[in-house]
């Protein structure tokens, strides 16, 4: 996959965030798909397994926690690295997401968009 750009799956219901992720990450050279809820994200992941997944927590139809749970329950998908990017920042949320297998957890407003790119980069490098 040397020529193949890394595939980033973003689960994000907010269209503004969605477009920012799409624009920024594409510009950074990643292949990006933005799913507008957990259900869609899982579907997309099953079609093409992403190298990394960014996941929001509060989403319609299927929220981030549910999505994480299902993802980690699926033997084919369970090794996908998931970075939770949410605006929920309570410890209980963080703990719950980590318990469900989230690789990292960030509050969106705590990071600049460049920070997000850096986190993705460092996670993919691992």
Residues lying near another protein in the complex (CB under 8 A) are found at 14, 16-17, 20, 23-24, 27, 58, 86-92, 95, 107-110, 112-114, 116
How remote is the C-alpha of 92 from its chain's centroid? 19
Closest by Cα among 31, 28, 39 to 9: 31
Least separation in angstroms between CB 115 and another protein: 10
Nearer residue to another protein within complex by CB, 45 or 68: 68
Cα dist from 126 to 23, 94, 122, whole Å: 24, 22, 7
Determine the Cα–Cα distance for residues 48 and 86; give it in Å rounded to an integer.
Answer: 24
Least separation in angstroms between CB 103 and another protein: 18
Nearer residue to another protein within complex by CB, 80 or 85: 85
Nearer residue to another protein within complex by CB, 58 or 99: 58
């Amino acid at each position: 996959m040397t020529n193949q750009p890394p595939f980033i799956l973003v689960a994000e219901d907010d269209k503004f965030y969605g477009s920012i992720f799409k624009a920024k990450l594409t510009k950074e050279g990643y292949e990006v798909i933005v799913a507008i809820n957990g259900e869609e994200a899982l579907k997309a992941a099953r079609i093409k397994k992403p190298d990394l997944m960014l996941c929001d927590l509060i989403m319609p139809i299927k929220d981030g926690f549910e999505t994480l749970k299902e993802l980690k329950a699926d033997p084919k998908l369970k090794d996908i690295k998931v970075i939770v990017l949410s605006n929920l920042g309570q410890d209980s949320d963080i703990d719950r997401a980590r318990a469900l297998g989230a690789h990292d957890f960030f509050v969106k407003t705590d990071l600049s968009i460049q920070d997000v790119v850096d986190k993705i980069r460092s996670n993919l490098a691992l």
